[in-house]
Amino acid sequence: MRIEIWSDVICPWCYIGKRRLELALADFPQRKSVNVVWRSFELDPKAPRQLPGTLEEMLAQKYRVSPQEAAAMNARVTAIAKAIGLEYRLTDARPGNTFDAHRLLHFATSRQLGDRATERIMHGYFSEGLAVGDRAALARLAPEFGIPESDALAMLESDAYSKEVHADETRAATFGVTAVPYFLFDEKAAITGAQPVEAFAEALRQSGTESSIDLRDPARTKSS
């Protein structure tokens, strides 16, 4: 079974969805037969490497809400993340362009390290204030998922894996993916949004049948 996951490393619901899928997979009898493939999806391809201001200020501007409402949005998602063991520190978040982060994930995948890299970069952004658009900062994380810092930095300073990122985004368009996280089970069953663990468990059980699942959830992040 192949599960393709379109996500962005700065999407809070993507990290939550990742963990909920993992919890469902932990109880899935055929876990060893499941191949998880991470697909790139940029929420804001035109973003600068480092966005000015805080995440709350960015959200307030993007969604045209007050700073207090933006703070409440962050508090809500932080509480949901905490319930499944994720510690979000969104006041320290440093959002920016994620294209290089996606290229690094493809580089890691080429070395069978994609899952480890995805987890480490997401944790870095949501819990440690990682400047996600900073190539040097991304490269410093690389040894923690098995790639020498010098190798990661050399790759990031080139244009390697750019085609792979764009190919993922083109593939997303063929399936009508406009929001993330998006989980595609063997090209037959789809889950949109960070749905409950039970929804992922049901999709795993039914993915081998001819029936198709299309579960939609407002708890997902749309492309800008």
Domain ranges within the chain, ordered by starting residue? 2-13+33-51+94-222, 52-93
Mean pLDDT by 10 residues, the chain (224 residues): 97 98 96 96 96 93 94 97 98 97 98 97 98 98 98 98 98 97 95 97 80 48 52
User: What token pair was written down for 128?
Assistant: 């440690």
Q: What is the per-residue pLDDT across 81-96, written as a single tens digit (0 to 9) for each? A: 999 999 999 999 999 9
* pLDDT computed for residue 207 by the predictor: 85
C-alpha to C-alpha distance for 212 and 209, rounded to whole angstroms = 8
Q: Helical H runs in the chain?
A: 12-26, 55-63, 67-83, 99-110, 114-128, 135-141, 149-156, 162-174, 197-206
pLDDT attached to residue 167: 98
Please report the DSSP string for 98-122 in residue order.
-HHHHHHHHHHHHTT-HHHHHHHHH
Residue pLDDT, tens place only, 143-159: 999 999 999 999 999 99
Contact 217, 195 (CB under 8 A): yes
Fold classification of 2-13+33-51+94-222 (topology level): Glutaredoxin (3.40.30)
d(CA 172, CA 179): 10
The predicted structure's pLDDT at residue 224: 39
DSSP class of 52: S
pTM of the model: 0.91
